[in-house]
């Protein structure tokens, strides 16, 4: 049976993403940290790992990108999950009694306005489902958590409010990581990381190789180079497969201009989400 690793405990949004992509019968492997997830795939305790890389509201997950640079797993797919946050508490808890809400910092950021309007104190926790697990095991008066409906079901907590995220356009993008490259699909994306020479126009010249070939860039983000202060690496996504002629030509040209280039993978592009009517709670 296919085993897919994820960070967190049962009921995590990563588990929802796994079910969306692989189906409900897949076996999942819980990992405490993202580094543990990468190790599980590298040692073949799992065939695949599902790694959250960015949220449409709260932005990129920097540790995930750092691990993609440092480790040798391939990006073999992407998942775009509509995230619907729920306010959970032990049965019998009244909304008017809540004083503190715990969850992963990303979830708290995605519900910031909702919490602020009610005067509730946000408290960062290990992860969304983990905060639900802990509250179910040790209920505290006036404490609620933000997690998924799946976590509520798994840990026996009551759902006091649904879809409390500040923006209805709240999606998390995940990479499927593994040791094998996927076959080409009808629609593909390619992800890579590169560094430029520390010289005027270096980044402009690198990006120009894609522009002059009509290749659409879908993401560009810089991160500090850990071994070189005030130098940066750039994470880039573009439409197309590295074997497509324009993409292959752009990559060859990039290799001549960049200080280094690391291919993360070419993979089937996830379907684009359709905007929903209305806003968040």
Residue 87: what pLDDT? Answer: 98
Both tokens assigned to 266: 């070419």
Domain assignment present for residue 280? The answer is no
- Other beta carbons within 10 angstroms of residue 268's beta carbon come to 18
Residue 280: what pLDDT? Answer: 42
pTM: 0.90
Both tokens assigned to 61: 């997950």
Question: Residue 223 is part of which domain span?
Answer: 188-268
Residues 192 and 260 in one domain: yes
Calpha distance 37→264 (Å, rounded): 17
Calpha distance 177→181 (Å, rounded): 9
Task: Tell me which H or E stretch contains 174.
Answer: strand 171-178
Domain assignment present for residue 237? The answer is yes
Domain assignment present for residue 166? The answer is no
CATH of the domain at 25: 3.40.190.10
Residue 276: what pLDDT? Answer: 64
Domain assignment present for residue 167? The answer is no
Residue-by-residue pLDDT tens, the chain, 281 positions: 899 999 999 999 999 999 999 998 999 999 999 999 999 999 999 999 999 999 887 789 999 999 999 999 999 999 999 999 999 999 999 999 999 999 999 899 999 999 999 999 999 998 899 999 999 999 999 999 999 999 999 999 999 999 999 988 899 999 999 999 999 999 999 999 999 998 999 999 999 999 999 999 999 999 998 777 888 999 999 999 999 999 999 999 999 999 999 999 999 999 888 766 544 43
Q: What are 248-257's contacts with CB under 8 Å, separation 24+?
A: 249/213, 250/209, 250/210, 250/213, 250/215, 251/192, 253/209, 254/194, 254/206, 254/209, 257/196, 257/202, 257/205, 257/206, 257/209
Residues 7 and 41 in one domain: yes
Give the per-residue SS3 of 140-168. CCCEEEEECHHHHHHHCCEEEECCCCCCC
Domain assignment present for residue 30? The answer is yes
DSSP label at residue 253:
H
Residue 257: what pLDDT? Answer: 97
Last residue of a domain, one of 178, 209, 237: 178
Q: Which residues are catalytic?
A: 172, 174
Calpha distance 36→192 (Å, rounded): 22
Calpha distance 62→43 (Å, rounded): 23
Measure CA 198 to chain center: 30
Domain count of the chain? 3
Residue 278: what pLDDT? Answer: 45
Domain assignment present for residue 275? The answer is no
Residues 103 and 71 in one domain: no
Last residue of a domain, one of 122, 145, 178: 178
DSSP label at residue 95:
G
Domain assignment present for residue 40? The answer is yes
Residues 194 and 235 in one domain: yes
Residues 76 and 109 in one domain: no
Residues 98 and 111 in one domain: yes
Residues 19 and 42 in one domain: yes
Q: Residue 214: how many CA atoms within 13 Å on its side-chain side?
A: 3
CATH of the domain at 252: 3.30.70.260
Contacts of 199 (CB under 8 A, 6+ apart): none
Residues 140 and 99 in one domain: yes
- Other beta carbons within 10 angstroms of residue 26's beta carbon come to 16
In the chain, helix, strand, coil percent, each to 5? Answer: 30, 30, 40
Helix (H/G/I), strand (E/B), else coil: 137: helix
Contact between 87 and 160 (Cβ < 8 Å): yes
Domain assignment present for residue 151? The answer is yes
Residues 206 and 143 in one domain: no
Residues 51 and 98 in one domain: no
Residues 138 and 193 in one domain: no
Residues 72 and 100 in one domain: no
């Amino acid at each position: 049976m296919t085993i897919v690793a994820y960070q967190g405990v049962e009921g995590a949004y990563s588990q929802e993403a796994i079910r969306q992509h692989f189906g409900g019968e897949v076996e999942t492997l819980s990992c405490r940290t993202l580094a543990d997830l990468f190790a599980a795939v590298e040692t073949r305790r799992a065939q695949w790992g599902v790694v959250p890389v960015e949220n449409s509201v709260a932005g990129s997950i920097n540790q995930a990108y750092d691990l993609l640079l440092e480790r040798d797993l391939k990006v073999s797919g992407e998942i775009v999950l509509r995230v619907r946050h729920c306010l959970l508490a032990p049965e019998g808890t009244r909304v008017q009694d809540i004083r503190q809400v715990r969850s992963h910092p990303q979830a708290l950021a995605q519900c910031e306005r909702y919490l602020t309007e009610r005067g509730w104190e946000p408290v960062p926790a290990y992860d969304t489902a983990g905060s639900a697990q802990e509250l179910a095991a040790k209920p505290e008066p006036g404490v609620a958590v933000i997690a998924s409906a799946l976590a509520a079901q798994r840990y026996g907590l009551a759902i006091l409010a649904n879809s409390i995220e500040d923006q209805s356009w709240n999606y998390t993008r995940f990479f499927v990581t593994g040791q094998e490259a996927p076959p080409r699909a009808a629609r593909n994306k390619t992800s890579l990381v590169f560094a430029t020479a520390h010289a005027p126009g270096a980044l402009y010249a690198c990006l120009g190789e894609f522009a002059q070939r009509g290749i659409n860039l879908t993401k560009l983000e810089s991160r500090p180079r850990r071994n070189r202060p005030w130098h940066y690496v750039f994470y880039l996504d573009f439409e197309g497969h590295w074997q497509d002629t324009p993409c292959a030509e752009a990559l060859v040209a990039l290799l001549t201009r960049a200080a280094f280039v690391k291919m993360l993978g070419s993979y089937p592009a996830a379907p684009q989400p359709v905007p929903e009517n209305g806003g968040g709670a």
